[in-house]
Amino acid sequence: MQAINIQIPIELIEQGETAVLEQIAMQLYENKVFTFSQARRLLNYSVWEFQKLLGENHVVRQYDQDDLAEDIEAIKSGLWDG
């Protein structure tokens, strides 16, 4: 069984649920466990809100063909909230 370790600083726990979820989403994204779309949906953030969060935390963006395909399917199905 593979595992991923997620580090949650104590001060984030004290800041509340949103801060913890943001940290989890960013780490899953950084470790390529979640795509950009999956990570932002975990937070229920728009594309722009998640982009801002990544920028504020100096997270390098990754966007590959899987992300593009996922976005195209979301647009086709009317679920895209870019």
Which one has a higher pLDDT value, 21 or 78?
21
Model confidence band, residue 2 (pLDDT cutoffs 50, 70, 90): confident
pTM here is 0.75
Q: What is the average pLDDT score of the chain?
A: 87
What is the tens place of the pLDDT at every residue in 41-66?
999 999 889 999 999 999 988 777 87
Residue 13 in this model has a pLDDT that exceeds 60? yes
Q: Provide CB contacts within 8 A for 43, sequence distance 6+.
A: 18, 21, 22, 25, 49, 50, 53
Place of tokens 């994204």: 29
Question: What residue ranges do the domains of the chain occupy?
Answer: 10-77
